[in-house]
Structure 1
Amino acid sequence: MPIQHTVVFRLVHPAGSDEEQAFLVTGRATLTSIPGVADFTIRRQVSAKSDLTHQFSMVFANQDAYDAYNAHPAHTAFVAERWIPEVTEFQEYDFVE
């Protein structure tokens, strides 16, 4: 059963800054390099109802692919080196049909 993994977040960097762009570019390059990641997208939140500003979304074919992604060294390094110091708040959602 496919899993859509979504994380909505706010960065410490000002909107439109070089640092914001570098985080998003690195996130795309790193996360899409991990086997099993499909349909990766980055979106910017525009509603005034939430102060979370960005979304990463991706699809995994099944739970095994999702588990492998979570344990992959590129994912754990991105979380430790970029996510933790640069993301101030986030919500994570995993959907199946």
Structure 2
Amino acid sequence: MIRHLIVFNLREGLGHQDCLDMIDEGRRVLTLIPGVTDYHFGEAVDLAAKYRYYLAIDFTDESVIELYKYHPLHVKFADEWFRRSATDRITTDYNLYP
């Protein structure tokens, strides 16, 4: 199992509802990609946290990383929603162990 983890902040001028709209759209389309098994979103409890939000998308295995990266649904979501909204971000893929 792989977890694709993104911690991010919103572009200045965007609010909480803008973030939720983006996350809802991501849930709607990204979970349709083969090999995506789960989708999680959260917000930092501490308002002073360096990164306010996280998005975690689980994949069945490492082979899904490349499939996901270039899948048309992901590319469209990233171009039309995520990159425009989440300008300050870090992305890393992790192996999950039982």
TM-score strictly above 0.5: yes
Whole-Å separation in 2 of the counterparts to 1:58 and 1:84: 16
Which residue in 1 is equivalent to 2:15?
A: 14
- Per the alignment, residue 65 of structure 1 pairs with 64
- Alpha-carbon distance in structure 1 between the residues aligned to 2:93 and 2:9: 18
User: What's the counterpart of residue 95 of structure 1?
Assistant: 94
Identical aligned residues as a percent: 26
| 1:61 counterpart letter in structure 2 | T
TM (norm. structure 1) is: 0.84
Contact 1:37–1:58 (CA<8 Å) still a contact in 2?
Answer: yes
Residue 28 (1) aligns with residue 27 (2): yes
Instruction: Say which is worse superposed, 41-50 or 52-61, in terms of deviation.
Output: 41-50
Instruction: Kindly provide the amino acid, as one letter, of the partner of residue 84 in structure 2.
Output: P
- Cα pair 1:9 1:90 within 8 Å, conserved: yes
Segments of structure 1 that go 5 or more residues without pairing to the other structure are: none
Q: CA deviation at 1:39?
A: 2.0
Secondary structure at the aligned position of 1:47 is classed as coil
Equivalence for 1:47: 46
Per mean C-alpha deviation after superposition, the further-off stretch among 48-57 and 5-14 is 48-57
